[in-house]
Amino acid sequence: MKKGLLVLIVTVLAFPLKADEGMWLLPLLKQQKFPEMQALGLKLQDYDIYSPDSSALKDAVVIFGGGCTGEMVSSEGLLLTNHHCGYGQIQMHSTLENDYLTNGFWAMSREQELPNPGLTVTFIDKIEDVTDFVKKELAKEDDPNNMNFLSPKYLNGLAKTRAGDAYLQNNPGLSVEIKPFYGGNVYYMFTKKTYSDVRLVGAPPSSIGKFGADTDNWMWPRHTGDFSVFRVYADANGNPSEYSEQNVPLRPKRWLNISLKGVQENDFAMMMGFPGRTNKYYTSWEVAERRDIDNTVRINIRELRQQVMLEEMLNDPAVRIQYSSKYAGSTNAYKNSIGSNWAINKHNLEQVKKVEQDKLIEWGRKNCQPDYEEALLSLEQLIHERKDLRFRSWMLDEAISRGIEFTRVPTDIQTLCDALRAKDKAEQQQQLRLLEMAYKRFKDKNYSAEVDKKIAKVMLEEYRRLLPPASQPAYFSVIDKRFKGDVGRFVDDLFAKSVFGDERNMQKFMSSPSAKALENDPMILFAVAVQKEKAALTQDLANFEDGYAIAHKTYVEGLLKMYGDKANFPDANFTLRLTYGQVKGYTPHDAVYYRCQTTLDGVMEKEDPDNWEFVVPDQLKKFYAEKNFGRYAMPTGQMPVAFSATTHTTGGNSGSPVLNANGELIGINFDRNWEGVGGDIQYLPDYQRSIIVDIRYVLFIIDKYAGAGYLLNEMNIKE
Q: CB under 6 A: which stretch of 420-428, 543-551, 552-560, 669-677 binds ligand ASP? A: 669-677
Closer CB to ligand ASP, 280 or 672, in the complex:
672
Decide whether 69 or 116 has the Cβ nearer to ligand ASP: 69
648 is catalytic: no
Nearer Cβ to ligand ARG (428/654): 654
Is 214 an interacting residue with respect to ligand ASP (CB under 6 A)? Answer: no
Alpha-carbon separation of residue 436 from 431, 432, 524, 543, 718 (angstroms): 9, 6, 14, 39, 58
Which one of ligand ARG, ligand ASP, none is in contact with 653 (Cβ closer than 5 to 8 A by kind)?
Answer: ligand ASP
Q: Which is nearer to ligand ASP, 349 or 677 (CB)?
A: 677
In the complex, the smallest distance separating the C-beta of residue 609 from ligand ASP, rounded to whole angstroms, is 27
Q: Which does 650 bind (CB under 5 to 8 A by kind): ligand ARG, ligand ASP, none?
A: ligand ASP
Give me the least distance between CB of 520 and ligand ARG, in Å please: 41
Least distance from C-beta 670 to ligand ASP, angstroms? Answer: 6
| Burial call 432-454: b when 16+ CB within 10 Å, e when fewer | beebeebbeeebeeebbeebbbb
Map residue 277 onto helix, strand or coil. Answer: coil
Catalytic one of 226, 294, 521, 694: 226
Residue 340 within binding range of ligand ASP, rule CB under 6 A:
no
The dihedral sign for the CA sequence 152, 155, 156, 157: positive
Report how far apart, in Å, the C-alpha atoms of 296 and of each of 334, 391, 573, 679 are: 10, 10, 24, 18
Burial 688-703 (b: 16+ CB within 10 A, else e): bbbbbbbbbbbbbbbb
Annotated catalytic residue within 74, 654, 656, 690: 654
650 is an interface residue for ligand ASP by CB under 6 A: yes
| Consecutive H or E run containing 80 | strand 78-81
Please answer whether residues 372 and 334 qualify as being in contact, where contact means their C-beta atoms are separated by less than 8 angstroms: no
Q: Does 654 bind ligand ASP (CB under 6 A)?
A: yes
CB of 645 to ligand ARG, least distance (A): 16
Is residue 337 close enough to count as binding ligand ASP by CB under 6 A? Answer: no
d(CA 24, CA 395): 35
Judged by beta carbon, residue 178 or residue 219, the one nearer ligand ARG is 219
Closer CB to ligand ARG, 431 or 669, in the complex: 669
Minimum gap (Å) between residue 649 Cβ and ligand ARG:
10
State which residue, 273 or 473, has the beta carbon closest to ligand ASP: 273
Q: Taking CB within 5 to 8 Å according to partner kind, which of ligand ASP, ligand ARG, none is near residue 390?
A: none
Q: Which of 664, 648, 653, 632 is nearest to 582 (CA)?
A: 648
Smallest distance from ligand ARG to CB 328, Å: 4
When CB distances are held under 5 to 8 angstroms depending on the partner's kind, the choice from ligand ARG, ligand ASP, none that residue 410 binds is: none
Residue 636, judged by CB atoms within 10 A of its CB (0-12, 13-18, 19+), counts as exposed
Separation CA 705–CA 229 (nearest Å)? 15
Applying CB under 6 A, the span of 158-166, 175-183, 427-435, 667-675 interacting with ligand ASP comes to 667-675
Task: Quote the least distance from Cβ 108 to ligand ASP, whole Å.
Answer: 29
Does residue 672 touch ligand ASP according to CB under 6 A? yes
106: helix, strand or coil: strand
**Which of ligand ARG, ligand ASP, none does 652 bind, CB closer than 5 to 8 A by kind?**
ligand ASP
Q: What is the dihedral of CA 697, 699, 701, 703, to 10 degrees?
A: -150
* 402 binds ligand ASP, rule: CB under 6 A: no
For residue 230, the partner it binds in ligand ARG, ligand ASP, none, with Cβ less than 5 to 8 A by kind, is none
Q: Which residues lie closer than 8 Å to 184 by C-beta, 6 or more apart?
A: 149, 150, 549, 553
- What are the start-end ranges of the E strands in 236-374? 248-249, 257-259, 268-273
Which of ligand ARG, ligand ASP, none lies near 448, with the C-beta cut-off 5 to 8 A by kind?
none
Give 122 or 472: the residue with its C-beta nearer to ligand ASP.
122
Residue 409: CB minimum distance to ligand ASP, A: 31
Which entry of ligand ASP, ligand ARG, none binds 328, CB below 5 to 8 A by partner kind? ligand ARG
Please tell me the distance from the alpha carbon of residue 51 to that of residue 431, in angstroms, as a whole number.
Answer: 57
671 binds ligand ASP (CB under 6 A): yes
8 A C-beta contact, residue 681 and residue 343: yes
Q: Is 134 exposed, middle or buried (0-12, 13-18, 19+ CB in 10 A)?
A: buried
| Nearest residue (CB) to ligand ARG, 233 versus 327 | 327
φ, ψ (nearest 5 deg) of residue 703: -80, -60
Answer yes or no: 226 catalytic: yes
- Residue 213 binds which entry of ligand ASP, ligand ARG, none, with Cβ cut-offs from 5 to 8 Å by kind? ligand ARG
Quickly list DSSP for 680-716: GTS--TTT--EEEEEHHHHHHIIIIIS--GGGGGGSE
Size of interface with ligand ASP, in residues (CB under 6 A): 9
Stretch that binds ligand ASP, among 181-189, 398-406, 551-559, 652-660 (CB under 6 A): 652-660
Return the beta strands (E) in 280-328 as ranges.
none
The binder of 247, among ligand ASP, ligand ARG, none, by C-beta within 5 to 8 A per type, is none
Query: Are 534 and 396 spatial neighbours (Cβ–Cβ below 8 Å)?
Result: yes
Q: Which is nearer to ligand ASP, 582 or 688 (CB)?
A: 688
Q: How many CB atoms lie within 10 A of CB 717?
A: 17
Taking the C-alpha atoms of residue 222 and residue 600, their distance in angstroms, rounded to an integer, is 10
Question: Of these partners, ligand ARG, ligand ASP, none, which one is at the site of residue 180 (CB under 5 to 8 Å by kind)?
Answer: none
Measured CA to CA, the distance from residue 714 to residue 712 in angstroms comes to: 5
User: Is 324 in the active site?
Assistant: no
Rounded Cα–Cα distance for residues 460 and 475 (Å): 13
Sign of CA dihedral 432, 434, 437, 441: negative
* Of the candidates 390, 278, 289, 252, the residue with the CA atom closest to the CA atom of residue 336: 278
Q: Which residue's CB atom is positioned nearest to ligand ASP? A: 654
From the list 83, 84, 223, 552, the catalytic residue is 84
Q: Among 180, 410, 522, 652, which residue interacts with ligand ASP (rule: CB under 6 A)?
A: 652
Question: Cis peptide leading into 27, omega within 30 of 0?
Answer: no
Task: Choose between 554 and 673: whose C-beta lies nearer to ligand ARG.
Answer: 673
Q: By the 8 A CB rule, do 639 and 632 touch?
A: yes
Q: Which does 393 bind (CB under 5 to 8 A by kind): ligand ARG, ligand ASP, none?
A: none
Question: Taking a C-beta distance cutoff of 8 angstroms, is the pair 627, 635 a contact?
Answer: no
CB atoms within 10 A of CB 28: 18
User: Dihedral (C-alpha) 200, 206, 207, 209: value to the nearest 10 degrees?
Assistant: 60
Contact flag: residue 77 with ligand ASP (CB under 6 A): no
Question: What residue ranges bind ligand ARG (CB under 6 A)?
Answer: 84, 213-214, 217-218, 328, 332, 651, 654, 671
The contact pattern for ligand ASP, residues 610-649, with x = CB under 6 A and - = no contact, is: ---------------------------------------x
Specify the residue, 327 or 586, whose C-beta has the smaller distance to ligand ARG: 327
Give catalytic residues, as residue numbers.
84, 226, 654
- Which positions lie near ligand ASP, rule CB under 6 A? 649-654, 670-672
